[in-house]
A and B are shown apart, each in its own frame.
Chain A
């Protein structure tokens, strides 16, 4: 009997694990016994992961922000130029969005809005190819809950499946147990995106007669009640026929293998879109805001400058004042921010809102007497007159 003792123990160990496995598979929701082992395991491994990631982040931050600053000035200039272009583009898009909202209000369209997100760091993974999950450095103590959507700047990443006190487990969209409701951007064809054992993404159950183009963008449809509608998922990588269905492979928008920081959507809100109470900003306002402003004048010259004919002229900046009254929180140029109230006669411009007398928004030329408006020639101009919405 003693001869078979070890083999018996081996058989018993395997049998117990098989029974345990069967119970977990049969009743996954009721099984709390495995939760304790998971908490211990995660609690043992993740603190070290967290410490190393924080050390790495801190070192990288110090290096990039205090030592490695080569090319930062040039990059800053490029970004400023890009920002100016984007501001004009934003005005145009805002008007389109307003129009879309008006239409949505007309049809009483309800949609989900992302109300609150939480930035978290990826500290580790499962270490198994068949289990595509990642661990975040925040948990229930930070407000995370199961079934919250996780996104990155590029697209959706996955959903929270288990939450511990200071850690959370996220199932990536390329795991084979994952499923995401999606819609094709152009053709509006809906389907369920699933992960494959190899880690690829595929759109399931698309009938062969449907037209799916390679390169088309895939967005969330909102049908899974996890991800809000309209978030980028990926692009169609390849399409091939497989019997009655199409085999549609999808290239994920987010770099699922190189995730470092992600956002968890901690709060969503379903509501009908409301029209913005504030009037829209025109592109001309944006242009006017960039006009040069007047430097500080000595006290002795203040009264003289208020007299007519001193070179202070009404410019396109009058519309800038309107823009500021609507967006009081928006930072102004340095001269305007210094509060040059009463500096110019234009402060009494009827276009200026009377409710904000202390906000001198008129831009005047410097001592040279040259009108400031001439500077607009140097600013980026729209290509056609239709580019500036009025």
Chain B
């Protein structure tokens, strides 16, 4: 089908229609920017675009598609901040690539796997983000394992709900 992504892997691979592939990441970025108006903690603990990147990358099971999704979502997210473009871009590129690579080897349909994978990739994302921000942008950020693990758990739990919703829009390739 034109405008959709497919994988050449022999395992169960999913694709998404072009409108879904564009609208869902944009909706996630929109909610990430809009919800803190009512829920100030949202920007502190939740990264909805990251959940979408992980889901799309794992479902497509294509490293190139995962990488591309990560680059695009990350750069748009960067564009909404005052920081240079590329901070979120680099972090989400790595996560998108990693999630799709892992999706090839794991059964990513089970809740337990999704919990673990989301927690792990959230921490990876934050480590890369902090490294880039401190080393390249020069901002002084304080790393707190306690807070990052708490946020990782919160994102993993929200991820279960988000992934269940997004399961409805994926199509078997």
Which residues of A pack against B, CB within 8 Å? Answer: 6, 9-10, 13-14, 17-18, 20-22, 24-25, 28, 34, 37-38, 40-42, 44-45, 48-49, 52-53, 122-131, 133, 135, 161-162, 169, 171, 175-177, 197-198, 257-258, 260
The answer to whether B67 and A13 touch across the interface, beta carbons within 8 angstroms, is yes
The answer to whether B33 and A14 touch across the interface, beta carbons within 8 angstroms, is no
Q: Return the chain B residue nearest A135 by Cβ.
A: B33
Q: With the chains together, A10 CA to B98 CA distance in Å? A: 10
B9-17, B51-59, B72-80, B161-169: which lies at the interface: B72-80
The answer to whether B67 and A126 touch across the interface, beta carbons within 8 angstroms, is no
Smallest CB separation, B22 vs chain A (Å): 10
Interface size on B, residues (CB 8 A): 43
The answer to whether A6 and B77 touch across the interface, beta carbons within 8 angstroms, is no
Smallest CB separation, A95 vs chain B (Å): 43
- CB of B97 within 8 Å of the partner chain: yes
Q: With the chains together, A177 CA to B140 CA distance in Å? A: 10
Query: Known contacts A34-B85, A40-B79, A260-B37; can you find 9 more A-B pairs with CB under 8 A?
Result: A17-B89, A20-B85, A21-B90, A24-B84, A45-B26, A49-B30, A127-B43, A135-B33, A177-B82
Q: With the chains together, A124 CA to B32 CA distance in Å? A: 9
Residues facing A in B33-87 (CB within 8 A) are 33-34, 36-37, 40, 42-44, 63-64, 67, 71, 75-77, 79-87
Q: With the chains together, A198 CA to B79 CA distance in Å? A: 22
Smallest CB separation, A173 vs chain B (Å): 14
The answer to whether A127 and B77 touch across the interface, beta carbons within 8 angstroms, is yes
Q: With the chains together, A135 CA to B79 CA distance in Å? A: 13
Known: A10-B93, A21-B132. A45 touches B29 (CB 8 A): yes
The answer to whether B34 and A49 touch across the interface, beta carbons within 8 angstroms, is yes
The answer to whether B138 and A25 touch across the interface, beta carbons within 8 angstroms, is yes
